[in-house]
Amino acid sequence: MSRRGVALAIVVTAPLAAGVAYAAQAEPHAAQAPAAEITTGTAEVTRGRLTQTVQVGGELSYTGSYTIDHQGEAGVLTASAAPGATIGRGRILFRVADHPVRLLLGAVPAYRDFRYGMSDGPDVRQLETNLVALGLDPDHRMTVDRHFSAATAAAIRRWEASWGRRWWERTGTLTQGDVVFLPTPVRVTTRSARIGAPVGPGTTVLTGTSTERAVIAQVQTDSLSRVHVGDRVSVELPDADPIPGRVTEIGQAATLPANSPDADPQNPDAATVPVTVAVRLPRGLAVSETPVTVDVTTGAKEHVLLAPIAALLARPGGGYQVRLAGGTLVPVQLGDFDESSGRVEVKSGLTEGQSVEVPA
């Protein structure tokens, strides 16, 4: 899920503002001209489940951000994957002097050549894991461990054979510039070096993301305490039914939105933190870089007294009141709001089964 996204906030003010407006028109001051009559209906006060949610906006995108550097000998970049291409394990990322550089999966970057007699290390285990996954140890002679063995060299020779190398060209070794390790298959986003340009060790050739879809949201810091890893969410996509998701990661660094009227260093609540939401898209739904709305379920209360948020009227001196079906105004003490259902917890002032006025 460009990390990107709209600055987000809990959306609780709109219905309350509507209630205040309703109250202002329902109780005009005697010295003022009568306000236009508002058509009203009634709604029943009930008991039920109140879901506590934080509603935020975000963007459907891809997880991870990767910089792909050339670590081999200097030369001319002769080919590279195009933006939008997906490169999987064992596939070619780019070519330098027509020499291919291939992707393998792992968290440890390539930092030395692979050859028989090298010292043991976690990079060897990572290489052997990839060789097995590529089907290059069909007789299961290689032990996946930290040691580069003769079976490891034999698996590399099989890989070289699949590239079209003749038997006398197969070395059973890999130089540091032959492979790039990344945690996941990569979706290329930009070419950082143009084809035909000279590149050397450390030159960034490509940038990309993972191929995993996710919603990336920027949650305002004043709402962040209500969001936790593992929270369930409902994601509303344009022109599609809502899909379920789950919060998988909460960023550590807060940033101020650039060129925003809220970008005030004296107002820390304007700062936002990226939140990643894992989703599984329905088959056939291919949307990218798409704005979405996310309802994060942060908790629930059972068997609480509930009234419509739309029934709330501003009370002189502060607080809220509601108008019963018979016309009586009753002050109410409120608890939590559930924006997804348009209901609010009533702690006192009403009883189950009463009817309250709401704008029609």
Instruction: Give the whole-angstrom CA distance, residue 206 versus residue 53.
Output: 39
Containing H/E element for 235?
strand 232-236
Q: How far is CA 294 from the centre of its chain?
A: 10
Q: Could you report the per-residue pLDDT of 304-351, keeping only the tens digit for each?
A: 999 999 999 999 989 999 999 988 999 999 998 887 788 999 999 999
The confidence score (pLDDT) of residue 123 equals 97
Task: Specify the higher pLDDT residue, 119 or 299.
Answer: 119
Q: What does 112-136 look like in DSSP terms, one character per residue?
A: S-B-TTPPP-HHHHHHHHHHHHTT-
Is 9's pLDDT higher than 70?
A: no
The confidence score (pLDDT) of residue 28 equals 40
Q: Could you report the per-residue pLDDT of 191-210, keeping only the tens digit for each?
A: 999 999 999 999 999 999 99
The confidence score (pLDDT) of residue 285 equals 67
Is 27's pLDDT higher than 70?
A: no
The confidence score (pLDDT) of residue 284 equals 67
Is 76's pLDDT higher than 50?
A: yes
The confidence score (pLDDT) of residue 6 equals 30
Q: What is the pTM of this model?
A: 0.66
The confidence score (pLDDT) of residue 186 equals 97
Least confident of 15-24, 34-43, 95-104: 15-24
Q: Could you report the per-residue pLDDT of 129-185, keeping only the tens digit for each?
A: 999 999 999 999 999 999 999 999 999 999 999 999 999 999 999 999 999 999 999
Is 263's pLDDT higher than 90?
A: no
Highest mean pLDDT among 118-127, 212-221, 351-360: 118-127
Asked whether 178 and 113 are in contact (CB, 8 A), the reply is no
Provide the β-strand partners of residue 208. Answer: 66, 188
Centre a 10 Å sphere on the Cβ of residue 122 and count the other Cβ atoms it contains: 11
Q: Could you report the per-residue pLDDT of 59-71, keeping only the tens digit for each?
A: 888 888 899 999 9
Confidence of residue 228 (pLDDT cuts 50, 70, 90): confident
Containing H/E element for 181?
strand 179-182
The confidence score (pLDDT) of residue 199 equals 97
How, if at all, do strands 213-220 and 7-8 pair?
A: parallel
The confidence score (pLDDT) of residue 165 equals 95
Containing H/E element for 160?
helix 150-162
Per the prediction, the chain carries an average pLDDT of 84
Is 31's pLDDT higher than 60?
A: no
Is 10's pLDDT higher than 60?
A: no
Give which of 95, 63, 67, 94 is closest to 81, Cα–Cα.
94
Instruction: Give the whole-angstrom CA distance, residue 267 versus residue 41.
Output: 41
Confidence of residue 19 (pLDDT cuts 50, 70, 90): very low
Instruction: Give the whole-angstrom CA distance, residue 222 versus residue 272.
Output: 9
Q: Which domains does the chain have, with CATH numbers?
A: 1-63+213-360 (2.40.30.170)
